[in-house]
Amino acid sequence: MSTPLRLGIAGLGTVGAGVVKIIQQRANLLAQRTGRPVVISAVSARSRDKDRGVDLSGFAWEDDPVALATRDDVDVFVELMGGSDGPAKAATEAALAAGKDVVTANKAMLAHHGQAIAEQAEAAGCVVRFEAAVAGGIPVVKALTEGLAGNQITRVMGVMNGTCNYILTRMENAGLPYDEVFEEARALGYLEADPNLDVGGIDAGHKLSLLSAIAFGAQVDFDGVELEGIGQITIEDIRQAADMGFRIKLLGVAQLTGRGLEQRMTPCLVPALSPLGQLEGGTNMVVLEGDSVGQIVLRGAGAGEGPTASAVMSDVLDIARGIRVTTFGQPAATLDRIKPARATAAAPYYLRMALVDKPGAMAKVAKVLGDSGISIDRMRQYGHDEPTAPVLFVTHKTTRDALDHAITGLAETGVVVGDPVALRIEAL
């Protein structure tokens, strides 16, 4: 058998401990599959004394992840600490400077620094792989980079944040308000340390920007992602959507248009019976569309110890087998800087607002919509909530620009209380 592949693992939390377990429990299987042993030389975390449910006694310990990344007995630096900057970025750069390959689960770091890291890796003759960074255990990076490499990718869509999908489906199934389910998700340990990364759509936006880079040969552009979180969705929105045959999902859509790269991660109404509509709990789903292959749907656990460690191991085993794919599926220097484009394709919208309950209020709203070129498909006023009346419109197809124009106009009527909620209805 050939020489072992030696890992240095920084971060021994949920994912790191999961990776150590797989390597310890399946050493023979991994060696059989790759033709060489996969071993851990050294590990690093903040606290040396924490019980992590794994035996670390056979590994060298480094307090400093940069020192770990540059050790002579490390071939691959496995970065599982997280954070867009700080120690994760410093240690990744140090590893590449020392000629080590890198495997990471860190979508935040790559969404912000992916292009520079890819360029550094290629200049050093190293690879950076990140299967675990997008949709946990689903092998979507490999599917796009390798399995679909012969296709022109036309669209990437998906539900890529399990926490948001848990919150939205739990609200619907248990009839609970957002705040209560948010606290439940916190108690279950689903939320990131900064919950806004989840519910603000940022984590899912990071993931979408990484898939877009591979799909469209573009430099990662997280700033170009149109982002909206789920914090404004009420149980009433979920009930009204369900009543019309829809479910609300935090949906990512990326496509290349003649105007530029469209990337949006926003709550949308999707048909309840569509594959995305039926997605429950913390599960993720990614839909890939290619000109030759048609549509591919990938579904699975988007987070958690086992699924995420499984994805990390896929990258480690590729390196052990000598499979060396560029970070975003083509040389970094050939990735285009594509200008971001706002979605202009017209779609029906769900528009909910609270009106002052007095004569003429509805007429003012109807006038603003008409003046913005928006035609009403359905309208419903439900359950008066003194002193306001909740009102819901479903529009005929319109553009986001027209809708924004209307929302500005609505604020000036003096009869709309608070901000209206506007959700795109995706036909899928």
**Given the rule CB under 6 A, which residues bind ligand NAP?**
10-16, 44-47, 50, 65, 80-82, 87, 105-107, 132-133, 136, 303-304, 308
Q: How far apart are CA 78 and CA 243, in angstroms?
A: 47
Among the listed residues 120, 161, 240, 399, the single contact to ligand HSE using CB under 6 A: 161
Would strands 128-129 and 101-104 be described as parallel, antiparallel, or unpaired?
parallel
State the minimum distance, in angstroms, from the CB of residue 288 to ligand HSE.
Answer: 18
Letters for 177-206 (x = contact with ligand HSE by CB under 6 A, - = none) are ---------------x-----x----x---
DSSP 3: P
CA angle in degrees (0–180, nearest 5) for 231-232-237: 120
Q: How far apart are CA 294 and CA 150, in angstroms?
A: 12
Q: How far apart are CA 392 and CA 14, in angstroms?
A: 43
- Of residues 120 and 163, the one with the C-beta less far from ligand HSE: 163
Among ligand HSE, ligand NAP, none, what binds residue 65 when CB lies within 5 to 8 Å by partner kind?
Answer: ligand NAP
Would strands 246-257 and 260-271 be described as parallel, antiparallel, or unpaired?
antiparallel
- Of residues 190 and 246, the one with the C-beta less far from ligand HSE: 190
State the minimum distance, in angstroms, from the CB of residue 376 to ligand HSE.
Answer: 36
Among ligand NAP, ligand HSE, none, what binds residue 163 when CB lies within 5 to 8 Å by partner kind?
Answer: ligand HSE
For residue 187, give the H/E element and its range. Answer: helix 178-187
State the minimum distance, in angstroms, from the CB of residue 210 to ligand NAP.
Answer: 12
State the minimum distance, in angstroms, from the CB of residue 206 to ligand HSE.
Answer: 9
The distance from CA 173 to its chain's CA centroid, rounded to whole angstroms, is 23
State the minimum distance, in angstroms, from the CB of residue 189 to ligand NAP.
Answer: 9
Binding-site residue total for ligand HSE (CB under 6 A)?
9
Among ligand NAP, ligand HSE, none, what binds residue 161 when CB lies within 5 to 8 Å by partner kind?
Answer: ligand HSE
Among ligand HSE, ligand NAP, none, what binds residue 70 when CB lies within 5 to 8 Å by partner kind?
Answer: none
For tokens 């009403």, name the residue: 376
- Determine, following the binding rule CB under 6 A, whether residue 251 of this chain makes contact with ligand HSE: no
State the minimum distance, in angstroms, from the CB of residue 134 to ligand HSE.
Answer: 8
- Determine, following the binding rule CB under 6 A, whether residue 114 of this chain makes contact with ligand HSE: no
Q: Which residue's beta carbon is nearest to the bound ligand HSE?
A: 163
Q: Residues near 115 by Cβ (< 8 Å), separated by ≥ 6?
A: 219, 220, 332, 335
Among the listed residues 17, 199, 250, 303, the single contact to ligand HSE using CB under 6 A: 303
What residues act catalytically? 207
Name the token pair of 195: 């919950």
Q: How far apart are CA 362 and CA 237, in angstroms?
A: 20
**Count of Cβ atoms closer than 10 Å to residue 400 Cβ:** 19
Q: Residues near 116 by Cβ (< 8 Å), separated by ≥ 6?
A: none
- Determine, following the binding rule CB under 6 A, whether residue 92 of this chain makes contact with ligand HSE: no
Q: How far apart are CA 96 and CA 89, in angstroms?
A: 11
Task: Give the interface segment with ligand HSE, choosing from 156-164, 232-240, 327-335, 344-352 (CB under 6 A).
Answer: 156-164
End-to-end CA distance of the chain: 50
For residue 18, give the H/E element and its range. Answer: helix 14-25
Among the listed residues 8, 11, 65, 162, the single contact to ligand HSE using CB under 6 A: 162
For residue 263, give the H/E element and its range. Answer: strand 260-271
Q: How far apart are CA 327 and CA 390, in angstroms?
A: 49
State the minimum distance, in angstroms, from the CB of residue 301 to ligand HSE.
Answer: 9
- Determine, following the binding rule CB under 6 A, whether residue 163 of this chain makes contact with ligand HSE: yes
Among ligand NAP, ligand HSE, none, what binds residue 121 when CB lies within 5 to 8 Å by partner kind?
Answer: none
- Determine, following the binding rule CB under 6 A, whether residue 307 of this chain makes contact with ligand HSE: no
Q: How far apart are CA 163 and CA 11, in angstroms?
A: 22
Among ligand HSE, ligand NAP, none, what binds residue 355 when CB lies within 5 to 8 Å by partner kind?
Answer: none
Q: Greatest CA separation found in the chain?
A: 84
For tokens 């056979």, name the residue: 58
Q: How far apart are CA 72 and CA 324, in angstroms?
A: 21
Among ligand HSE, ligand NAP, none, what binds residue 267 when CB lies within 5 to 8 Å by partner kind?
Answer: none
State the minimum distance, in angstroms, from the CB of residue 375 to ligand NAP.
Answer: 43
Q: How far apart are CA 209 and CA 264, in angstroms?
A: 9
Footprint of ligand HSE on this chain (CB under 6 A)? 136, 161-163, 192, 198, 203, 302-303
